[in-house]
Amino acid sequence: MPELPEVETIRRYLQAVLVGQAPTGVRHLDPRLIRIGDASAVEIAEAMRGVPIAEVGRRGKYLWLRFPRQGFLVLHLGMSGRLLWEERHRPWAKHTHLVVGFPQDQELRLVDPRRFGRVGWLPALLALEDKLGVEPLGPRFTAEYLARHCHSRRAPIKAVLLDQSVVAGLGNIYADEALFASAIHPARAACALADGEVARLRQAIRRVLRRALKYRGTSFSDYVDALGHPGENQHYLAVYGRRGHPCPRCGAPVAVIPVAGRSSHFCPTCQPIGDGDAEGALALYPNAEERDHATV
């Protein structure tokens, strides 16, 4: 599933090309993907037509297009969705479920083979804000904030990190990478983490996300950016997708266990189930990439 770095990479490109452009119409919208808000496909098309886009935004794993005095087209890419900026003459890919036309014969197309994505219209973003936690690269994501949510939960720390009402935009890939970077076992109870471990984890989350943004996201099978190009961060992952490969820190084989219903990649030596020695834990994520007060 595309996570914060992948969605943000798409957002940055679309912000550059879409702001100020007015859709000429919606050529196709699969009603089965409308799972956000109450507007129908016809109502969504009418609300967008001829209205210049003021902003392309992101909240967690959601993307939205803001239409002044009208509302927001909100999209979630689900497990396999691709949001592509393409020339109109190019044939639609199989499983294309949304096509928005623009001047100069360009189209914004949502391709989603598994159809787990979501599309809809919201008059305001309050409904979205109410269900999402803080942005992990924003100023509100402090060690104190994360500690409050950890200390009140007996669930595995991996489950807490995947909870979108706690940390918006974090998913399986970057939770595994951050837990490795902070030398914390994914199945440890969140409430058992010491304040120092939580602070280290918060720092690691920000570092792995910034590294992924630098390399335009992680591509294994489905994810590509708005121009159809894969990301490059898969070449820099420490544990995710590397089952059986040597740990880059100690050389032990990377293991996989189920935690919170998801496959969790970790090093059994560097991430012991008890309190471990975290010396050198952040070595793979240099301090130069940390900007505590920066936002995406």
User: What domains does the chain contain, in order, with CATH numbers?
Assistant: 4-129 (3.20.190.10), 143-289 (1.10.8.50)
Q: Is the dihedral of CA 195, 199, 200, 201 positive or negative?
A: positive
Active-site position among 2, 5, 23, 156: 2
Among this protein's residues, is 32 annotated catalytic? no
Active-site position among 11, 61, 82, 188: 61
In degrees and rounded to multiples of 5, residue 142 shows phi and psi of -100, 165
Among this protein's residues, is 94 annotated catalytic? no
Stated pTM of the model: 0.92
Q: Give the chain's length.
A: 296
- Has residue 120 got a pLDDT over 60? yes
pLDDT at 164: 97
Active-site position among 113, 262, 289, 290: 262
Q: Is the dihedral of CA 77, 82, 85, 86 positive or negative?
A: negative
CA angle 258, 261, 262 (to 5 degrees): 65
Among this protein's residues, is 262 annotated catalytic? yes
DSSP 8-state symbol, 69? T
- Has residue 204 got a pLDDT over 50? yes
- As given in the structure block, the two tokens for residue 81 are 């969705």
Active-site position among 3, 86, 107, 177: 3
pLDDT, the chain, mean: 92
Among this protein's residues, is 210 annotated catalytic? no
The residues, ordered by sequence, that sit 6+ positions from 254 with a Cβ below 8 Å of its Cβ are: 239, 242, 243, 244, 245, 246, 247, 265, 266, 267
pLDDT at 288: 36
DSSP 8-state symbol, 161? H
Q: What is the DSSP string of 179-247?
A: HHHTT--TTSBGGG--HHHHHHHHHHHHHHHHHHHHTT---SSS---TTS---SGGGG-SSTT-TTSBP
pLDDT band at 221 (very low <50, low <70, confident <90, very high): confident
Describe the strand order of the beta sheet including 62-67 as a list of residue ranges: 34-36, 118-122, 71-76, 62-67, 55-59
- Per residue in 131-181, pLDDT (tens digit) is 999 999 999 999 999 999 999 999 999 999 999 999 999 999 999 999 999
Cα of 87 vs its chain's centroid, Å: 26
Pairwise CA distance, residues 21 & 51, whole Å: 8
